[in-house]
Amino acid sequence: MLAVASALLAPIAAAIGYSSYKGRQFEATSPNIGELTDIGGYRLNAFHVARPETADLPPIVFIHGASGNLLDQVGAFLQPLEGRAEMLFVDRPGHGYSERGGPENALPSGQADAIAKLMESRGIKRAIVVGHSFGGAIAAAFGVRHPDKTEGLLFLAPATHPWPGGVEWYYHLAAMPILGWLFTHAVVVPLGLRRLEQATQNVFRPNPRPEDYIAKTGPTLVLRPRAFFHNAVDCTRLLDYLKAQSPQYSRITAPTVIITGDSDGIVWEHLHSQGLALDIAGSELVKIRGLGHKPDYVVTDVAIAALEKIGGASRDLQAAARKAEQRLARQTPAAPTDIVAPLGDPTGLAPPVTAEN
């Protein structure tokens, strides 16, 4: 019996050891570029760019999506906005190098409150809040709960409304007691690494993914057991949260722009982006043909024009969108891949594949 038990436990122990080793390797490859700040019993990590003398935009706070970290938005916006604004790129609670905090941070409302506290600690009174994908739910919660701190809102392919179905099976498994611990400590790393290349390509589809995207944005950080657990809890609780909270979006009064693509296979734009545009009076919906789930990288110029418009400049965003469509039409589309969100997908919100996509 002892021999049988040893034979069963040995490969599990080896897998846990391998995952621990790889976790340290992930952190060495993608070290923390931010700074941890105590916001009341736990520390939130962020990369802060002080207001430059040449600034012509209000402060901007960037919120990444599911399975991500602050490097994702740094890679998209830091260089194009250099010298133009104070910027705060945030690791959401439990993601990247941020600590999780209390149970309230399992919901977008709690994470929005955490970011508001971080802004206070950094001396940022008001900011344009940018939310991509899952970060859109947090940006919306921020706009509802902290109107005094909201200069404006920019939503990029946001996940903000209830959708039919749910999230991928591995999130439910990872969030379970005992079995979830074994899964995150023994299975997630090898399975995630095997699917990482395809997962990141799927998020950009039909647009090509930048060749250096994985190297620069550290998506492997989410494969660490604790980070994957927190990500799973976020995703499994999002649907019920949105059912209860999305009716509150009509309270948002800040200038708002929503940028979305008609080819987003991760988050249905007709439910989320169009629903958000209907909910927020005076908001502008910018829908771009041929754009997938990553407007932050694929149409960065349109996103920056939106920031400028929110900041008070005169910008024709619809004209900018048409120009972007012409550019996308000339690009070689990404090679077809499995559209069902695989392990490691940076959102985990892929709906069932239907004609509605």
What's the pLDDT at 332? 74
Q: What is the pLDDT of residue 336?
A: 59
First-last CA distance in the chain: 53
d(CA 207, CA 220): 21
Residue 122 lies in domain: 31-164+246-330
pLDDT score recorded for residue 154: 99
For 120, other C-beta atoms within 10 Å of its C-beta total 12
What's the pLDDT score for residue 10?
A: 78
Tell me if 83 is assigned to some domain: yes
In a domain, 270, yes or no: yes
Does residue 16 fall inside a structural domain? no
Q: What pLDDT sits at residue 266?
A: 95
Mean pLDDT by 10 residues, the chain (357 residues): 58 92 98 98 98 98 98 98 98 98 98 98 98 98 98 98 93 96 97 96 97 97 98 98 98 98 96 98 98 98 98 98 97 61 38 31
CATH number for the domain that contains residue 103: 3.40.50.1820
Per residue, the 3-state secondary structure of the chain, as one string, reads CHHHHHHHHHHHHHHHHHHHHHHHHHHHHCCCCCEEEECCCCEEEEEEECCCCCCCCCCEEEECCCCCCHHHHHHHHCCCCCCCCCEEEECCCCCCCCCCCCHHHHCHHHHHHHHHHHHHHCCCCCEEEEEECHHHHHHHHHHHHCHHHEEEEEEECCCCCCCCCCCCHHHHHHCCCCHHHHHHHHCHHHHHHHHHHHHHHHHHCCCCCCCCHHHHHCHHHHHCHHHHHHHHHHHHHHHHHHHHHHHHHHHCCCCEEEEEECCCCCCCCCCCHHHHHHHCCCCEEEEECCCCCCHHHHCHHHHHHHHHHHCCCCCCHHHHHHHHHHHHHHCCCCCCCCCCCCCCCCCCCCCCCCCCC
Residue at 271 is within a domain? yes
pLDDT at 337: 53
* Residue 7: predicted pLDDT: 58
Give CA–CA dist 287/273, Å, rounded. 9
Whether 227 is in a domain gets the answer: no
Does some domain include residue 335? no
pTM for this prediction: 0.93
Identify whether 24 is part of a domain.
no
Residue 128 lies in a domain: yes
Residues 67 and 231 sit within 8 Å (Cβ to Cβ): yes
pLDDT at 335: 63
pLDDT at position 273 is: 98
What is the count of structural domains for the chain? Answer: 1
| Structure confidence at residue 347 (pLDDT) | 37
Say what the pLDDT of residue 331 is.
Answer: 86
